[in-house]
């Protein structure tokens, strides 16, 4: 039902100390749009039960959909927030040929609904669950809102990335919009420039919007306050499923609920052969829906953005709501694992 993978050091640590929430100082959330629905029940269990009454800080780091999830988990009522996100997104309906502006306006409605009246302040004031939104600052043609220029820039990105991941530095810089008191630091083996910007009232909305602004599909976000002027887009361009480790003092393990046991580093690696580095996942624990679980979902797959075109709105809504309900079984599976400390079920992570 639920598969658990652990990097070498993470596996050793768990075998010595058992599986408990005190082992973790970081929590990752990947890009992937509605693919995240597959983790809905697990997310609710983690932040209503597993991390309940936590007293030490937990860094919540996400790009795109993962950033939206982090924005939910850092609110006073994380379960209500994540339910607002899931049910609002599941009911999205676009026109026959939506423009980037239409899709962006819809995304802004989702953000407003997730934040509600007090969500932004709750995130900024949360001293335990500290949100971090990863965003890609674009340069050259990738910063253009012209589809032709942006498309040419993305083609160049694909070719540059195929040669060497570090080549993304020619067109992108990583911006991590972080909780004001966070000491988070990452080790990027490819040395893509990283900048850390404090989240504030004046930029939290734009930072979250930018983290999910898919190239060619949505409008970019210009000149986020507190950061360098320029065009900002989806954090998944650089960090789709992540290929870095954490370097801050006193950091322990990283918990990473994910919909795929084979994470890919960046957006341009989705269909390629490049695997993430073992060293990036040495301290990571992945919680992954099994292939058996996925095969039993409607259509035998997890939701994705192609469903907007492949299915009519009513059919898609029924499908997505069924998936959200079925994911409660993943929470039950993880709860059983914790209760019985079935450590032999943990598999060693192999990229």
Number of domains making up the chain: 1
Planar angle of CA 176, 182, 188, nearest 5 degrees: 45
Taking each helix axis from N to C terminus, what angle separates 328-340 and 313-326, rounded to the nearest 10 degrees?
A: 10
Are 14 and 285 a contacting pair, CB within 8 Å? yes
> Element (H or E) spanning 11, and its range?
helix 8-17
What is the percent of the chain with per-residue pLDDT over 70, rounded to a whole number? Answer: 100
Could you tell me which residues come within 8 angstroms of residue 338 by beta carbon, excluding any fewer than 6 positions away?
19, 50
Residue 53 pLDDT greater than 90, yes or no: no
d(CA 176, CA 187): 13
Q: What pTM, to 2 d.p., does this model score?
A: 0.97
Which pLDDT band holds residue 108 (cuts at 50, 70, 90)?
A: very high
Which pLDDT band holds residue 250 (cuts at 50, 70, 90)?
A: confident
Range(s) of the domain holding residue 243: 2-348
Which pLDDT band holds residue 271 (cuts at 50, 70, 90)?
A: confident
Distance from chain centroid for Cα 102: 23
């Amino acid at each position: 039902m639920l598969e658990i993978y652990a990097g070498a050091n993470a596996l050793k640590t768990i075998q010595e100390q058992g599986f408990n929430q005190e082992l973790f100082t970081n929590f990752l959330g990947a890009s992937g749009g509605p693919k995240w629905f597959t983790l809905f029940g697990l997310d609710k269990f983690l932040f209503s039960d597993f991390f309940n009454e936590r007293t030490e800080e937990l860094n919540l780091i996400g790009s795109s959909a993962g950033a939206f999830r982090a924005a939910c988990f850092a609110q006073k009522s994380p379960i209500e927030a994540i339910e607002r996100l899931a049910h609002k997104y599941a009911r999205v309906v676009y026109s026959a040929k939506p423009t980037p502006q239409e899709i962006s306006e819809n995304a802004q409605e989702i953000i407003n609904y997730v934040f509600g009246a007090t969500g932004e302040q709750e995130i900024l004031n949360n001293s335990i669950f500290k949100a971090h939104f990863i965003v890609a600052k674009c340069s050259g043609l990738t910063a253009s809102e012209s589809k032709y220029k942006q498309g040419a820039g993305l083609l160049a990105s694909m070719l540059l990335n195929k040669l060497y991941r570090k080549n993304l530095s020619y067109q992108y810089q990583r911006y991590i919009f972080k909780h004001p008191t966070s000491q988070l630091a990452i080790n990027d083996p490819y040395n893509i420039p990283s900048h850390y910007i404090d989240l504030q009232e004046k930029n939290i909305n734009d930072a979250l919007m930018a983290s999910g602004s898919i190239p060619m599909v949505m409008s970019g976000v210009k000149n986020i306050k507190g950061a360098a002027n320029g065009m900002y887009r989806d954090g998944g361009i650089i960090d789709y499923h992540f290929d870095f480790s954490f370097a801050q003092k006193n950091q322990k393990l990283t918990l990473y609920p994910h919909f795929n046991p084979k994470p890919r580093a960046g957006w341009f690696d989705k269909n390629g052969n490049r695997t993430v580095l073992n060293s990036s996942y040495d301290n990571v624990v992945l919680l992954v829906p099994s292939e058996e679980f996925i095969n039993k979902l409607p259509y035998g797959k997890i939701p994705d953005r192609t469903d907007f075109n492949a299915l009519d709105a009513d059919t898609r809504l029924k499908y997505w709501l069924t998936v959200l309900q079925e994911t409660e079984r993943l929470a039950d599976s993880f709860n059983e694992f914790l209760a019985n400390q079935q450590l032999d079920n943990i598999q060693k992570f192999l990229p």
